[in-house]
C-alpha cells in the first residue's frame, strides 16, 4: 500500500472478491489502484498462491474421507520434503 496523501478522496472498488482503492481526483487519479482487502481465497490467488489456507484445510478434511486424495497429498508432501532437503 502506498503512503496515503492527506486530504485526497479515495474510490473503493471490488473485483473478483478483491477490494481495491485508488485516488478520485487529478493529478493523483493516474496512480494505479492498490489492494486493501477482500476474500482470503481471492487474495491468495491475486498473490500468485496455488490455494489459500482455507482451501488447504478443506483438502485436509476431504483427505480423511477420500483415500485417493490422502495418498496424493502424501506424495506431494514427500516431494516437498525431498526438494527442501536438496536445497
**Spatial distance between the Cα atoms of 21 and 10, rounded to a whole number of angstroms:** 6
3-38 pLDDT, tens per residue? 899 999 999 999 999 999 999 999 999 999 999 999
Q: Evaluate if pTM is beyond 0.85.
A: no
**Spatial distance between the Cα atoms of 11 and 84, rounded to a whole number of angstroms:** 43
DSSP 31: S
Amino acid at each position: 500500500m502506498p503512503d496515503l496523501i492527506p486530504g485526497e478522496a479515495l474510490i473503493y472498488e471490488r473485483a473478483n472478491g478483491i477490494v481495491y482503492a485508488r485516488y478520485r481526483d487529478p493529478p493523483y487519479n493516474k496512480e494505479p489502484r492498490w489492494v486493501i482487502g477482500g476474500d482470503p481465497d481471492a487474495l491468495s490467488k491475486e498473490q500468485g498462491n496455488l490455494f489459500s489456507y482455507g482451501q488447504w484445510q478443506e483438502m485436509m478434511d476431504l483427505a480423511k474421507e477420500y483415500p485417493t486424495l490422502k495418498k496424493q497429498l502424501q506424495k506431494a508432501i514427500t516431494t516437498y520434503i525431498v526438494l527442501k532437503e536438496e536445497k
